[in-house]
Structure 1
Amino acid sequence: MQYLKLDSLPELRAPVFICAFAGWNDAASAATNAARFIVRRFGARKFGAFDPEPFFDFREVRPHVQVTVRGEREITWPPNDVHFARNPTGPHDVVVFTGTEPNLKWRTFASELVELAQAARADLVVTLGALLADVPHTRPVRVTGSSLDPAAAERLGLQPSRYEGPTGIVGVLHTALRDAGLPGATLWANVPHYLTSSQNPGATAALLRRVSALLEVEFDLSEMDAAAQRFVAEVEGALRANPEAQEYVRRLEATYEEAAAEAPQLPRGEDLVLDIERFLREQREGRGEG
């Protein structure tokens, strides 16, 4: 790894590698907020970071200047950090990458993350994302998932990705994982396209519930759920002054219900755990591990 500088590579138990990028892949900051929650929840320790110089146009992603407690000016560069944590209650330790979608050298950036996943002997790489969609804020946040690996998609109960069009670093990373023979899956929260300037705690909570099932860890999401309820109430209050917007949301609700009745969804959390555990166990057995 040329650009990803590691303090040391910890010994981990069958780690799940979770990645989230701010930017195009992160509507309402739902994915990066979920990844940061995981870091805090586990008390994860930073053990590496990317050199930002080769990957960012600093006119687009500008560094910040701050004044330290000693009164000195200090520049903070765009962070792209990796953390690890032991999982005391589940079979999988955790590696978490949190960062910003780079401006340059996407293939190189993805290759470095793939090398890290290989070196850590990750059983599964999971990217978190969030997209703007034609969904109402009044319904449970839909989480969709896919995999480029047909075997992983089948075993995890996910749909093979059929998306065509512009992609972000997440798409490039999953292509690199597939080419390297590493299993990967991606989970995306669908957030209302008409609420683009606000963080969406409900979308973050929806992603975390999927991850908690995967890791067999109970996350306390009570504060986030309360924030989600306040968020919905605030939006409802704003809509009361706009009958046209209210009618638009009602149409979205009807479309949502029709799609929910027709489209395949992710399996229930407990079923997802069983499917993922079976898949990860087969991965370890295939490598000759007990």
Structure 2
Amino acid sequence: MTPEPRLVHIVDDVPELDETSDLTMVAVLDGFLDAGNAAAIASRFLVQLTEGREGKGAGPVVATFDVDQFHDYRARRPAMSFVRDHYEAYDAPRLVVRLLHDSGGTPYLLLQGPEPDNRWEAFARAVRAVVERFGVTRVVSMGSVPMAVPHTRPVAITHHASRPELLTGESPWRGELRIPSSAQSLLEVRLGEWDHDALGFVAHIPHYLAQMDYPRAALALLENVERAGRLTLDLSDVRSEADEREDEIARYLSANEEVAEVVDALERQYDSFELAEESGNSLLAADEPLPTGEEIGQQFEQFLAGLEGPDDQPGAP
């Protein structure tokens, strides 16, 4: 397939990929499906894993999309530095495909950058050109959404795929849901229509942690990507980061009774749902009242400030 002019530039000569018969491309588009920055943390880890293994910078770029064709600069203004009397250090948005390697040296691709604000169909066709040029076997996407779930329970994952045979787990949903679309979800639909395998994972992030880094969800996403993408990933660093954040949250809850009560209510609701599922009843069978997003937000306003902002008290997170 020949890509539309100027939408994507694909490197002509990548000998390492010419010899690869099984190639995964991981897709992470910033801007929509990323509560708790889970997908961003996961993609950053993948780049760092290659950097640490090869002892040099991020993996080489093998395809570059023309961001000007897709980005709304007035809606998402890139940062720029003003130094005394002049502008410099413009952080231009980049939408690229990098060649990375897993812990065992197996090559794979990472599609990373801001979600296109427009021309989604053209973007999907440009990605198709990359997939067909390098013979990508499967495209695996990552995302995360805020949900009324407690952080004290396992991170739930929504599995999705362009065909049932690709699913690696059962979906927690029943029936049809009408949800806002994204360039990433449309890409999966179009790739499936073009007979290219595409699947992905969406982590469920507790409402009250959606605005802060939540590496535990990133870990859950990476574990699923590792299996689905047939990769080998040393996840010890992100696991340590997740444990540290969980300890911070636990210390805060032990000192804040009102916040702990909100989490306790979510735990009861979650456990009721699980029990209903195991017994074959409706997920709506539980009668435990669920805190609203506003109630959770009010209770955790100080929580977020305590974790992300300065605090003079010894031992505070």
Q: Which residue of 1 aligns with 2:116?
A: 102
1:30 paired residue number? 38
**Alignment pair present for 1:205 and 2:183:** no
SS in 2 for 1:18: strand
> Cα–Cα, structure 1 residues 72 and 162, in superposed 2: closer, same or farther, change >3 Å?
same
The C-alpha deviation readout for 1:168-199, integer Å capped at 9, x for no partner, is 12211111112211111011111111122211
Query: Offset at 1:5?
Result: 1.7
Q: 1:190-217: per-residue Cα shift (whole Å, max 9, x none)? A: 1111122211111111111122233454
Asked if the contact 1:49/1:81 (under 8 Å) is kept, the reply is yes
Residue 58 (1) aligns with residue 73 (2): yes
Post-superposition shift, 1:223?
A: 3.0
- Give the Å deviation of 1:166: 1.1
Residue aligning to 2:260: 246
Pair 1:192–1:19, CA change in 2 (3 A): same
Which consecutive residues of structure 2, in runs of 5 or more, have no partner in the other structure?
Answer: 52-58, 279-317
Find the aligned partners of 1:232 and 1:104 in 2 and give their Cα distance: 38
**Residue 247 (structure 2) pairs with residue 233 (structure 1):** yes
The amino acid that maps onto 1:201 is P
Kept after mapping to 2: 8 A contact 1:147/1:158: no
Give the Cα–Cα distance (whole angstroms) in 1 for the partners of residues 13 and 44 of structure 2.
Answer: 20
Give the Cα separation in 2 of the matches to 1:116 and 1:235: 42
TM-score (norm 2): 0.73
Shift of 1:132: 0.8
**Take 1:134 and 1:215, find their aligned partners in 2: how far apart are those partners?**
29
In structure 2, the residue matched to 1:285 is none
Q: Which amino acid aligns with 2:196?
A: L
Q: TM-score, structure 1 length as denominator?
A: 0.79
Residue in 2 aligned with 1:142?
A: 156
Partner of 2:193: 179
Q: How many residues are aligned here?
A: 259
Contact preservation (8 Å) 1:61, 1:78: no
For 1:77, which of 86, 92, 98 is the aligned residue?
92
Q: Distance in 2 between matches of 1:94 and 1:208?
A: 14
Q: Shift of residue 262 of structure 1?
A: 5.7
Change (3 A) 1:181 1:166: same
Larger radius of gyration: 2
| Cα deviation 1:244-272 (Å, max 9, x = unaligned) | 332221122223334445659xxxxxxxx
Decide which of 134, 156, 159 is 1:120's aligned counterpart: 134
Check whether the contact 1:31–1:204 (CA below 8 A) recurs between aligned residues. Answer: yes
> For residue 7 of structure 1, what is the amino acid of its counterpart?
V
CA contact (8 A) 2:102 2:232 kept: no
Q: 1:219 to 1:136 in 2, by over 3 A?
A: same
Cα distance between partner residues in 1 of 2:273 and 2:79: 44
Shift of 1:129: 0.6
Aligned sequence identity (%)? 26
Corresponding letter in the other structure for 1:59: R
CA distance in 2, matches of 1:127, 1:36: 14
RMSD of equivalent CA atoms:
2.7
* Structure 1 unmatched ranges of 5 or more: 265-290
Q: After superposition, give the CA deviation of every residue in 1:53-112 in whole Å (9 maximum; x if it has no partner).
A: 1111111111232489xx98242311211101355737x631111111121111111221
Q: Does 1:42 align with 2:50?
A: yes
